[in-house]
């Protein structure tokens, strides 16, 4: 059949408009056999389809095949929209969508992001950064788990591809000493979260979710039992390492099949990333590389704290602070705290990171408020105290003075008392134990200016395996 130039042009226009309505998954499946930017946003994928149709890169038969696929996907989307509009509880957006779809020329800018449910296909959702993973690339942009009907139980299919480099990186960084369970340093990470664009999102699993990657069922973190009546147990908010199920090849598409239950007024988003798994040692090294907060800073805080209370009835001239880490109950080696915390009391960075490596809660062990990795700082002042020769092996607590200097406590009697105040320090949320002026000055055996360096304290290891782990 010989077609005229005129009708060719008209066809082109029609196809172009239809391409603009296709979903990312449609575009991926059309482009699967061609070279295309795998991690691009929708408009780049659309441009690639149009480019293939227009250029001389592929044969006329291949172009026909693409046109056929475009038509087919477009019809499917339209059918979904129709199905939706027939239901009595049809929402406003979908009927609006439907009207525009039928009555007006296709104008993708105002309607293209909305299909049937009124949710955008690829919402601008940002997930919270995870301290233990460096993101190397996005494999699947955050995509809405799109309900296709009114049914509670839904399913959807999502695709991602690896570039040759990404496939090589995964393959070269795996530890196959245990062939039954290879360890991957570079992983494909699956994350779910709420469709919410106003703030960075925590991981959040949809209810009754089930995930298959290339036909294999994925192990998701077990739901945490709750004793609240009527509340469904939720899975702990964690990313899922799906690398063992991924086809580590740039020539084949990876298929993620998701089943989930819809929730009233809430929608969920799925996304996939190529990440590098980090260890707590690595995070500690990064903290050390970043450097510690200068001791002058903490000295200023001490002065400020002791000055602040000057108006109070009881004048505070000293603060006591423990050198025992509230996590491991032993002398800190790398004293740190979050810049978001109000207290001076530190905890041991290494222990804190190890604990969060096993179970990421990122709660300050002193005040129980969030103490995120990016806000942790090694405290130079306490680092100097711990390294000081003035400090005896038994000195587990020091006094801070209003000039910003510190001194050790004196008698054995005091040493016994320390144990009490150590416990006290753990539970008070906002500040340290306050020591008033009635304590005789003679009690301080030395008044050092936190500058000494020597006497490495003992750093015993804590058995972290004793910590509960809900993932196992």
Q: Which residue ranges make up the site for Zn ion (CB under 5 A)?
A: 341, 364, 366-367
Residue with smaller CB distance to Zn ion, 141 or 345: 345
Residue 452 half-sphere exposure, CB side, CA atoms within 13 Å?
A: 18
Instruction: State which residue, 169 or 379, has the beta carbon closest to Zn ion.
Output: 379
CB of 364 to Zn ion, least distance (A): 3
Closest C-alpha to 205, from 186, 224, 228: 224
Least distance to Zn ion, CB of residue 127, Å: 25
Q: Give the nearer residue to Zn ion in terms of CB position, either 18 or 343.
A: 343
Burial class (CB in 10 A: 0-12, 13-18, 19+), 45: buried
Residue number, 332 or 367, with CB nearest to Zn ion: 367
Phi, psi of 371 (to 5 degrees): -130, 85
**Shorter beta-carbon distance to Zn ion: residue 345 or 408:** 345
Tell me the sheet residues that pair with 406: 400, 448
Smallest gap from residue 369 Cβ to Zn ion (A): 5
Cβ of residue 327: shortest distance to Zn ion, in angstroms?
12
Q: Please give the DSSP secondary-structure letter assigned to residue 187.
A: E
- We find the least distance from the C-beta atom of residue 411 to Zn ion, in angstroms, to be 30
Q: How far is the CB of 370 from Zn ion (least distance, A)?
A: 9
In whole angstroms, the minimum distance from the beta carbon of 431 to Zn ion comes to: 11
Structure tokens at 192: 């779910």
Comparing CB distances to Zn ion, the nearer of 240 and 364 is 364
Q: How far apart are CA 131 and CA 287, in angstroms?
A: 12
Cβ atoms within 10 A of the Cβ of 389, count? Answer: 11
Decide whether 110 or 429 has the Cβ nearer to Zn ion. 429
In terms of CB distance, is 325 or 366 closer to Zn ion? 366
Give least dist CB 288 to Zn ion, A.
21
Locate all alpha helices (DSSP H) within 264-398, ordered by sequence: 280-290, 295-308, 349-358, 380-387
CB of 326: closest distance to Zn ion in angstroms? 10
| Pick from 444, 343, 372: nearest CA to 401 | 444
- Tell me whether residue 49 or residue 336 sits nearer to Zn ion (CB atom): 336
Alpha-carbon gap, residue 125 to 217, rounded angstroms? 26
Task: Note whether 28 and 36 are within 8 A (CB).
Answer: no
Cβ 398 vs Cβ 450: under 8 Å:
no
Grouping H, G, I as helix, E, B as strand and the rest as coil, residue 79 is: helix
Of 31 and 367, CB closest to Zn ion: 367
C-alpha separations of 55 from 6, 50, 51 in Å: 18, 8, 6
Distance CA 268, CA 262 (A): 9
Q: How far is the CB of 365 from Zn ion (least distance, A)?
A: 8
Whether the Cβ atoms of residue 123 and residue 142 lie closer than 8 Å to each other: yes
Report the alpha-carbon distance of residue 365 to residue 373 in Å, rounded: 13
Query: Judging by beta carbons within 10 Å of its beta carbon (0-12, 13-18, 19+), is residue 413 exposed, middle or buried?
Result: exposed
**Cβ within 8 Å of residue 71, ≥6 positions away:** 15, 18
339's tokens: 């810049």
């Amino acid at each position: 059949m010989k077609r005229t130039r005129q009708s060719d042009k008209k066809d082109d226009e029609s196809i172009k408009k239809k391409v603009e309505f296709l979903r990312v998954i449609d575009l991926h499946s059309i482009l699967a056999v061609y070279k295309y930017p795998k991690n691009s946003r929708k408009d780049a994928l659309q441009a690639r389809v149009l480019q293939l149709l227009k250029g001389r890169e592929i044969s006329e038969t291949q172009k026909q095949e693409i046109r056929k696929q475009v038509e087919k996907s477009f019809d499917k989307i339209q059918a979904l929209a129709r199905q939706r509009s027939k239901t009595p509880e049809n929402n406003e957006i979908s009927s609006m969508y439907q009207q525009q779809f039928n009555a007006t020329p296709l104008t993708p800018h105002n309607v293209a992001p909305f299909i049937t449910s009124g949710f955008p296909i690829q919402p601008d959702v940002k997930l919270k950064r995870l301290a233990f993973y460096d993101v190397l690339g996005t494999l699947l942009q955050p995509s809405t788990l799109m309900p296709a009907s009114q049914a509670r139980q839904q399913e959807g299919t999502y695709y991602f591809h690896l570039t040759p480099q990404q496939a090589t990186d995964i393959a070269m960084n795996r530890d196959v000493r245990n062939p039954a369970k290879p360890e991957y340093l570079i992983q494909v990470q699956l994350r779910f979260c709420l469709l919410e664009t106003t703030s960075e999102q925590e991981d959040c699993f949809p209810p009754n979710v089930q995930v298959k990657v290339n036909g294999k069922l994925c192990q998701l973190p077990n739901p945490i039992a709750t004793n609240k009546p009527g509340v469904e147990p939720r899975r702990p908010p964690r990313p899922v390492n799906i690398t063992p199920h991924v086809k580590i090849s740039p020539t084949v598409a990876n298929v993620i099949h998701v089943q989930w239950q819809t929730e009233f007024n809430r929608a969920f988003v799925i996304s996939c990333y190529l990440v590098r798994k980090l260890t707590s040692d690595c995070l500690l090294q990064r903290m050390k590389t970043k450097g510690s907060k200068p001791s002058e800073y903490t000295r200023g805080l001490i002065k400020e704290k002791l000055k602040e209370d000057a108006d109070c009835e009881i004048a505070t001239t000293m603060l006591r602070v423990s050198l025992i880490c509230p996590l491991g109950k032993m002398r800190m080696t790398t004293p740190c705290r979050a810049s978001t915390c109000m207290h001076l009391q530190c905890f041991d960075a290494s222990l804190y990171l190890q604990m969060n490596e096993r179970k990421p809660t990122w709660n300050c062990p002193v005040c129980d408020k969030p103490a995120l990795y990016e806000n942790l700082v090694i405290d130079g002042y306490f680092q100097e105290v711990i390294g000081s020769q003035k400090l005896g092996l038994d000195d587990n607590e020091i006094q801070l003075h209003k000039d910003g200097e510190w001194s050790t406590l004196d008698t054995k009697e005091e040493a016994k008392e320390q144990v009490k105040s150590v416990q006290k320090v753990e539970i008070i949320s906002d500040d340290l134990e306050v020591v008033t002026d009635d304590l005789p000055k003679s009690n301080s055996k030395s008044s050092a200016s936190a500058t000494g360096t020597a006497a490495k304290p003992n750093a015993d290891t804590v058995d972290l395996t004793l910590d509960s782990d809900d993932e196992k």
